[in-house]
Amino acid sequence: MLIYISAFIFGACCASFFTVCAWRWPLGLSIIWPGSQCDFCHHALAWYDLCPIISYIVLRGRCRYCDAQIQRHFFNSEVAGGLLACCLARHYLPSQMGYLLIILYLLSLVDIFHTALYPVPMLLAFIPLFIEYWPSNHWVSALLIGSSLSIINYFSDGIGTGDIELLAILGLWFGLETTLLMLLIACLFCLTKYLVDYLRHPVVFALVSRSPIPFVPYISLGVWAVLTIMNK
Ligand SMILES: [Zn+2]
């Protein structure tokens, strides 16, 4: 139990830092300066406003100084980071797979905040895995996934190009069958989430349903689910 509590706290703290990175890097902002501040009133945040998860709960999701609503993504990402760290501690995944999940976690945050992926940083982050899996890379699978999804995207415009690149890279390491399983689980997670949203708030759903869906978090959940099943 102590291991899990420690892992959760460590994961939530790392997630808090990753969230700042994912929010600021794509905007070309420094992750060090200026220090954390409210996005609305730009008041500098004290250390007690920055405790992962706890500060959000104590402040009821609002800025201490101007009472503006804090994005719920920050809270969710810290909880998800804590759970991811517990999962890594529980399943003793190989270090490469742990690394993959952490990178996917960071990419998911970037996709949620900016609805975009940045191919060059993504490829750079994956270099250690390209080298690690070089002898057993599934080039045909990656080619098949990349080309077939690109054709679908050409006619339907239903999937983002960053998502296609990411799925092709996953195909390179896991092969066609496993990657399609990851994609299937990702689609099921996504459909479930949007079905729940529709049932809870049909009017709001009708307004937001035409905006792009950040799909990387669902792909990441698919990867996490398959890796967890494979390591049982
Ligand atoms: Zn404020």
- Identify the band that residue 171 occupies on the pLDDT scale cut at 50, 70 and 90: very high
Ligand 1 centroid vs 39 CA: distance in angstroms? Answer: 7
For residue 231, what are the domain limits? 116-232
Instruction: Tell whether 220 and 126 lie within a shared domain.
Output: yes
Choose one of 60, 92, 124: the last residue of a domain. 92
Q: Is 212 helix (H, G, I), strand (E, B) or coil?
A: coil
Judged against a pLDDT cut of 90, whether residue 222 lies above it is answered with: yes
Ligand 1 centroid vs 43 CA: distance in angstroms? Answer: 6
State residue 223's pLDDT score. Answer: 95
Ligand 1 centroid vs 37 CA: distance in angstroms? Answer: 8
Helix (H) or strand (E) holding 159: none
Instruction: Tell whether 230 and 120 lie within a shared domain.
Output: yes
User: Does residue 16 form part of some domain?
Assistant: yes
Instruction: Tell whether 84 and 120 lie within a shared domain.
Output: no
Ligand 1 centroid vs 69 CA: distance in angstroms? Answer: 8
What mean pLDDT is predicted for residues 175-202? 91
- Identify the band that residue 187 occupies on the pLDDT scale cut at 50, 70 and 90: very high
User: Does residue 134 form part of some domain?
Assistant: yes
Instruction: Tell whether 163 and 213 lie within a shared domain.
Output: yes
Ligand 1 centroid vs 59 CA: distance in angstroms? Answer: 12
**What Å distances lie between residue 61 and 58, 72, 140, 143, 166, CA to CA?**
8, 7, 48, 45, 33
State residue 232's pLDDT score. Answer: 63
Instruction: Tell whether 220 and 138 lie within a shared domain.
Output: yes
User: Does residue 110 form part of some domain?
Assistant: no
What mean pLDDT is predicted for residues 17-45? 84
State both tokens at 130: 């390209």
Ligand 1 centroid vs 128 CA: distance in angstroms? Answer: 40
Instruction: Tell whether 157 and 61 lie within a shared domain.
Output: no
User: Does residue 97 form part of some domain?
Assistant: no
Instruction: Tell whether 157 and 219 lie within a shared domain.
Output: yes
Average pLDDT, the chain: 87
Give the tens place of pLDDT for each residue, 67-91.
899 888 889 999 999 998 888 887 7
Ligand 1 centroid vs 14 CA: distance in angstroms? Answer: 23
State residue 96's pLDDT score. Answer: 84
User: Does residue 140 form part of some domain?
Assistant: yes
User: Does residue 111 form part of some domain?
Assistant: no
- Identify the band that residue 52 occupies on the pLDDT scale cut at 50, 70 and 90: confident
What mean pLDDT is predicted for residues 192-213? 81
State residue 116's pLDDT score. Answer: 79
Judged against a pLDDT cut of 70, whether residue 48 lies above it is answered with: yes
Give how many domains the chain has, as a whole number.
2
State residue 183's pLDDT score. Answer: 95
User: Does residue 148 form part of some domain?
Assistant: yes
User: Does residue 102 form part of some domain?
Assistant: no
Ligand 1 centroid vs 61 CA: distance in angstroms? Answer: 11
Instruction: Tell whether 232 and 159 lie within a shared domain.
Output: yes
Judged against a pLDDT cut of 90, whether residue 49 lies above it is answered with: no
Instruction: Tell whether 224 and 150 lie within a shared domain.
Output: yes
Instruction: Tell whether 125 and 73 lie within a shared domain.
Output: no
Instruction: Tell whether 137 and 169 lie within a shared domain.
Output: yes
Choose one of 57, 92, 127: the last residue of a domain. 92
Instruction: Tell whether 121 and 70 lie within a shared domain.
Output: no
